[in-house]
Structure 1
Amino acid sequence: MNNDHKTQTGRRSESPVNAQTELAEPGRRRFLGWTGAGLGLGLIGAGNALAQTAGNARVSTWAGATDLAIWDAAWAARFSNPLPSLTAPGFIYRPDVAGGNAYTVAAGQVQANVLGIRRAGAPLLTTAWGYGPVDPVSGQPQVSHPGRSFVVQQGSPIQVNWRNDLVDAQGQPLPHILPVDQTVMLQNDPANNPIDGVPIATHHHGGDTMAEFDGVPDQWVTPRRRQTGPGIQLGTPGDVGVNGDILANDGSIRYQYDNTEEASLTWYHDHAEGLTRLNAYAGLAGAYVVRDSNEAELIRRNLLPSGPHEVGLVLQDKVFDADGQFAYPADSILAPVPTEGLDPSLPTHLPEMYGDVICVNGVVWPKLDVEPRPYRLRLLNGSDSRFYTLTFDTTGGVGPFLGFRLIGTDMGFGNNAPMLRTLTIGPGERYDLVINFAGLAANATVVLRNTAPTPYPLGAPVVPGSGPDEVMAFKVTKAFDRAYPKLAPIEDKTVLRGWVPLGKPAGTPSSAPRLPALRVPAGAPVRRVLLGEGSDEFGRIMPLLGTVAAGTLGFHEPSTENVVIPAGQTSVTEVWEFWNASVDSHPVHLHLVRFRVLNRQTFTCTLTPKPMINNWTGVTITDPAAPQPVLARAVTAPFPYETGWKDTVECPPGVVTRVLVTFNRPGKYVYHCHILSHEEHDMMRWFTVTKA
């Protein structure tokens, strides 16, 4: 443990290193200081779950402490390095052939200027992973960190040939750049051969995608497709419904994306079983932007910022070692209870991961120079475990904070644009907002601040000056560019949905029709999903899913959520209830579908231990003394920032969260907590959709 660089308040020491000062070589000494303490099993006993959680005083964090010299240098240089654009023309994927719809994209390794500091006269580069196009002449990948962005049009399908190029110059598989826990990783392929190289499985998060192309955990491929997971169905070129077309021996896996979604910021990231948290942290993620005619009409009517005034922000927290390389806490000394059977010299999975350095678009604490005008900010939380409660601060943290208009959620625009001064975004969630810098003085600085505790919502508060409390800065330094029109102000009654392009015939449907009032169809099936916390065979904390009736279940146990589309129908609508009997808020993500949040309701229950497979211990909330959980009378409405289409929903502890969801494609998919450390161990389950 090496935490001597933190004061009792958590504020870091001020270093003489500044943005212009070079960082000295550390020699061979390398250290990482991890902070962490034990966590309880969960809610064992009777009473209100939320109240019991508060009584447990769970305030510990599974945090990584960056090397002191690196942290101080990056902190001193904060708000000096420019924010990279996710939608700059050179950062957007282009088809392999001009005018075509096929793309070849490779995952690979790259040296990235993440920290924005210098050593020995040169930028201190970080070994990272990312995605990029493949040069059509040389066949070599052009990888960037983070991965480059797709920008596609609704209704125009594309094919993506995903290639695993995590190899060295001789074509041999690279080792992982982060510590891998073999106890939660696939160790053999379906033919019982040891896995050679790092597997990846690329998932389009938010995509209405055939199961064959979803990139679920068992659809993994090793470098150059030398091995494939059991979910990969290899076929011949042109096969329909096969997710592994064999393409000229280039090692690709061909996926098709129909792009039926409304205008929204979706994203793609790795989803390989047992490695998702590590692969995504290393950089295997990128933006996937869908456009539609409704959005285009908003821009044409000067209601929506566009071009350079539309800015994507991917938020992640990181840890760096003394050489400026990514680090990830995996020391068994941090295990929550004494463990049996774990080799203390090997890496171990930990319940959560929190970094003390914030990256936006792959750069530490960047800045964006802005004009005195409205900007559209498209937020994505790409962190492992961290929630962010965000404010735009012009007053040094004392408020009131700069307001903004919320125009959209995960999967599209809202009907209208409420004015907010703060919002909370969990891992995997996206929010779309417009903020106006026009009223600020020249050279004003707006700091995007975070106040979400860790774990969220009942953990330790963020300490000012500790790193995660500041995200990035906006500086009003640019003159108003008259090449772009002055926008009409967005107000409470501004209509964001239902537009059709000018000149279309009367009655032409909008690409984003108005959202109707929420109504549950008569007879809609109701599924009661349990979120609980148990332990694995080594005594490590294990967040789990299951059902209220059966208790917690493992990922590879048979699916309990088997959706049936009735004969003669193209879809079915159901109510899914997430009963959170754990101590964390879980951002639950369902593949394939979009949904709307119905309501929330607190509950009380009795938790009892449940023996599970693999000598795990789970929980159940059904026993002879208390056969059913007891619901409070009050039902609360969705949060003001989640009234539109969602694919990931925050499920607070001690609360049942209800969503209304429609299933339209047959196939086998997963739903899971998007805290990646939870998803991997073992808070993920399969669901199936079939037609009667």
Structure 2
Amino acid sequence: MSLLDSEELFESHAFENALPIPEVIDATKGRDITLQARQISQFLGLYDPDGNLLYTTVWGYGTGMGKTSYPGPTILAYEDVPVTVHWQNKLPLTGHLLPVDTSLHFANSLTHPLSSGYVPIVSHLHGGHNDSIFDGLPDQWFTQSGGGNGPRGVGPGFVTSTMTYYNDQQAATLWYHDHALGITRLNVYAGLAGFYVLQDESHLDLVKNGVLPGGNYDLGMAIQDRAFTSDGQLYYPAYKDDPLPGTDMTVGDVVPQKFYDTFGEDAPSAVPEFFGDTILVNGMAWPKLNVAAGDYEFRLLNGSDSRFYVLKVSDPDVAVHLVGTDGGLLPNAITISDGDGVQESNEFLVLAPGDRVELVFDFSRLDDGDTVTLLNVGPAFDPFKGISADGFLFGDIEAANANNPVGDIMQFAVDTAIKPFDATVQDGIVLVKDFVSLTEDANHDDVADLATNVRKVGLFEGEDEYGRVTPMLGKAEAGTVITDKMSSGDFGPLAWDAPTTEKPLLGSTEQWDMFNFTADSHPIHLHLPQFQVLGKWHIDFLDQDENGIPDDTNSDGEITYGTGPSPNYAVADIWIGDKIDLRPEETGWQDTIEVDPHQMVAVIATFDKPGDYVWHCHILSHEDNEMMRPYTVVTDFGLFA
């Protein structure tokens, strides 16, 4: 397999092409929209060694009346004004663009199978306050029609491919992306994603009053890593001899021989994580953007499979203010980089897969022709394991840098011919006067006052029957250990199709304490609510048999908890220790939160719509390989669990 040389591409063509701005569909007054998934050929900023343009086959969304693009068009909506989207699957009946691992739990129709060219899709509005039937859940998929096998194949949870979004939430940067069971990573990698920007009166007033930039000074940027073959086609490692980008390894080095003994030497397999060697923003490799010497609001999305970005600007004269997170504006702006001309070690933010941040960049201290690079100093080709307050990566892993293609995101070039927007945002300025906090803890018992129930849930890592690394979610209550990933118990990993164990009562506010017992960080996403983070704590435990489950150290037949910074394993098996400071991007309203190794994160959420939903890791390679669980919001107190 011959791959495109990302280092040569970067050296020759980085910052050469303009940042694409997706088409905007204005639905602020309500609208019925048709969005079709189609296959197209698109220029992504790739060139052959002679400098000739390479075009890439991707999947994108379009209205059917004009251009189809990757990313899809940005839907602009308004609070409390419903929008209806008719999602259509118009992909060619030629099968998937990428190799599909059929050993996973995955969306496959008996009447319209992948082997006959049919591809299941379903769009999820990530961060949306969605009714269950409109949520785009992983088993609500549908295939193309045609081919003489009936209208189309549908998943067991399918109700409709026409979704109504009521937009009954505050202004926020949302995004839509595919969510079909077991192939989400592949469908999103192929291009099925786009922005959904929700506005409200409060946010528009901040723009009107000059506090925040707006209009042409408000832009979305979807950051995604990819890899390509030498002829410019998407490359996703799956076969035994396929190289893993950025490393000297192949798929066969991370997938045990037992898998190939079972399915054959030519069988495609999922890999634990995927890290590309080429950075795209809005579907363009290392683009540039000409900017005025003033202020811009940039809505950044991490749409990558597994890569965590640690973002900073190359020029310390550029000030950066955090004004919003997943679920909307913060109560007060927080300065990330102060623009004082001194590069400080704590001037960064972490953007985990699935996360969004709203940032105001201030270029006013720069001159005409000055350039600034948005840098990534996160892991180059390794899983993220956490970061210190001064920017030190945990886990003894190599960090990306400005001399590495994955260490550069995009470039801004100052053009004083562009009229500047002079925003008044600064550190501490009030953005939301009546911000509702869910995290009050008057008696300091580490339980939110509003929480009517506290759950302990766990992040685990074990092996499947073929010996492949399999991250999972499950229960983490004190008590008996779950031994088979399916049966009842109090503590242990559970398979995707194990009975539902989380059943919050409709209208209740719960605290979910999420314990990470794995070696890597995981961005955990809850469908339906926007939540707030009460806090993070260090945890200690032993796993001497390395089975991914903390040991029953005192041999009493149960998992028990203790509190304190010095664990005594003769007394308890898991110890909750010192509290950890939250980073600015972990405050405010969230729908996806990073949980680092040896860490517990407590989130507070209100479950105000009934029905079935899911929670999962937003590392898409993990989500597709069992790190996802259903939950149900119940209306009958007798079903509460």
Over the residues paired in the alignment, what is the CA RMSD in angstroms?
2.3
User: Residue 542 of structure 1: which of 470, 494, 502 is its match?
Assistant: 470
Query: Deviations along 1:39-63, whole A, 9 cap, x unmatched?
Result: xxxxxxxxxxxxxxxxxxxxxxxxx
Q: For 1:357 and 1:415, how far apart are their aligned partners in 2?
A: 36
Q: For 2:110 and 2:474, how far apart are their aligned partners in 1?
A: 26
Task: Give the aligned residue type for 2:466.
Answer: F
Q: For 2:377 and 2:354, how far apart are their aligned partners in 1?
A: 18
Q: For 1:685 and 1:180, how far apart are their aligned partners in 2?
A: 21
Query: Deviations along 1:560-609, whole A, 9 cap, x unmatched?
Result: 111113xxxxx111100110000110000000011001111111123377
Q: What is residue 321 of structure 2 aligned with on the other side?
A: 405
User: Quick check: 655-664 or 622-631, which moved more?
Assistant: 622-631
Query: Residue 641 of structure 1: SS of its match in structure 2?
Result: helix
User: Residue 205 of structure 2: which of 286, 297, 311 is its match?
Assistant: 297
User: Residue 417 of structure 2: which of 459, 479, 482 is its match?
Assistant: 479
Task: Give the aligned residue type for 1:328.
Answer: Y
Query: Residue 147 of structure 1: SS of its match in structure 2?
Result: coil
Q: For 1:460 and 1:160, how far apart are their aligned partners in 2?
A: 43
Query: Residue 212 of structure 1: SS of its match in structure 2?
Result: helix
Contact 1:580–1:655, Cα closer than 8 Å, also in 2: yes
- Is 1:664 the counterpart of 2:615 in the alignment? no
Deviation at 1:182, TM superposition (A): 1.5
Q: For 1:277 and 1:414, how far apart are their aligned partners in 2?
A: 30
Deviation at 1:412, TM superposition (A): 0.6
User: Residue 459 of structure 2: which of 521, 531, 551 is its match?
Assistant: 531
Q: What is residue 627 of structure 2 aligned with on the other side?
A: 683
Contact 1:551–1:621, Cα closer than 8 Å, also in 2: no
Query: Residue 625 of structure 1: SS of its match in structure 2?
Result: coil
Task: Give the aligned residue type for 1:382.
Answer: G
Deviation at 1:191, TM superposition (A): 7.0
- Larger RCO (alpha carbons 8 Å, 6+ apart): 1
User: Residue 359 of structure 1: which of 260, 268, 280 is its match?
Assistant: 280
User: Residue 331 of structure 2: which of 407, 411, 415 is its match?
Assistant: 415
Q: For 1:174 and 1:478, how far apart are their aligned partners in 2?
A: 49
CA gap of 1:301–1:463, structure 2 versus 1, over 3 A, is closer
Counting only pairs closer than 5 Å after superposition, residues 385-400 of structure 1 correspond to structure 2 as: 385-394=306-315, 400=316
Q: What is residue 153 of structure 1 aligned with on the other side?
A: 78
Task: Give the aligned residue type for 2:332.
Answer: N
Deviation at 1:466, TM superposition (A): 2.7
Contact 1:393–1:447, Cα closer than 8 Å, also in 2: yes
Deviation at 1:319, TM superposition (A): 0.2
CA gap of 1:74–1:128, structure 2 versus 1, over 3 A, is farther
- Is 1:263 the counterpart of 2:171 in the alignment? yes
User: Residue 490 of structure 1: which of 409, 425, 434 is its match?
Assistant: 425
Query: Residue 518 of structure 1: SS of its match in structure 2?
Result: coil
User: Residue 132 of structure 1: which of 45, 62, 71 is its match?
Assistant: 62
TM-score (norm 1): 0.77
Counting only pairs closer than 5 Å after superposition, residues 343-354 of structure 1 correspond to structure 2 as: 343-354=264-275
Deviation at 1:518, TM superposition (A): 2.9
Deviation at 1:286, TM superposition (A): 0.3
Query: Residue 385 of structure 1: SS of its match in structure 2?
Result: coil
Contact 2:533–2:603, Cα closer than 8 Å, also in 1: yes
- Is 1:518 the counterpart of 2:426 in the alignment? no
Percent pairwise identity: 36
Q: For 1:193 and 1:356, how far apart are their aligned partners in 2?
A: 32
CA gap of 1:468–1:691, structure 2 versus 1, over 3 A, is same
Unaligned runs of 5+ in 1: 1-30, 33-65, 136-140, 168-172, 234-243, 245-252, 395-399, 499-511, 566-570, 611-616
Aligned length: 562
Query: Residue 186 of structure 2: SS of its match in structure 1?
Result: helix
Query: Deviations along 1:377-427, whole A, 9 cap, x unmatched?
Result: 111000000000000012xxxxx5743111010011011111112100100
Contact 1:113–1:126, Cα closer than 8 Å, also in 2: yes
Query: Deviations along 1:326-354, whole A, 9 cap, x unmatched?
Result: 10011331324442424221211100000
- Is 1:585 the counterpart of 2:521 in the alignment? yes
Q: What is residue 183 of structure 1 aligned with on the other side?
A: 103
Q: What is residue 500 of structure 2 aligned with on the other side?
A: 559
Unaligned runs of 5+ in 2: 146-150, 241-251, 337-346, 386-394, 442-447, 477-489, 561-572, 637-641
Q: What is residue 461 of structure 1 aligned with on the other side?
A: 398
Contact 2:43–2:55, Cα closer than 8 Å, also in 1: yes
- Is 1:572 the counterpart of 2:498 in the alignment? no
Query: Residue 187 of structure 2: SS of its match in structure 1?
Result: helix
- Is 1:214 the counterpart of 2:135 in the alignment? yes
Query: Residue 281 of structure 1: SS of its match in structure 2?
Result: helix
Task: Give the aligned residue type for 1:559.
Answer: T
Q: What is residue 384 of structure 1 aligned with on the other side?
A: 305
Counting only pairs closer than 5 Å after superposition, residues 1-20 of structure 1 correspond to structure 2 as: none
Q: What is residue 244 of structure 2 aligned with on the other side?
A: none
Q: What is residue 28 of structure 1 aligned with on the other side?
A: none
Query: Deviations along 1:121-170, whole A, 9 cap, x unmatched?
Result: 863110001111122xxxxx742111111000110001111000002xxx
CA gap of 1:516–1:345, structure 2 versus 1, over 3 A, is closer
Deviation at 1:535, TM superposition (A): 0.7
Q: What is residue 191 of structure 2 aligned with on the other side?
A: 283
Contact 2:521–2:596, Cα closer than 8 Å, also in 1: yes
Contact 1:82–1:368, Cα closer than 8 Å, also in 2: yes
Deviation at 1:632, TM superposition (A): 4.2
Counting only pairs closer than 5 Å after superposition, residues 331-350 of structure 1 correspond to structure 2 as: 331-332=239-240, 333-340=252-259, 341-350=262-271
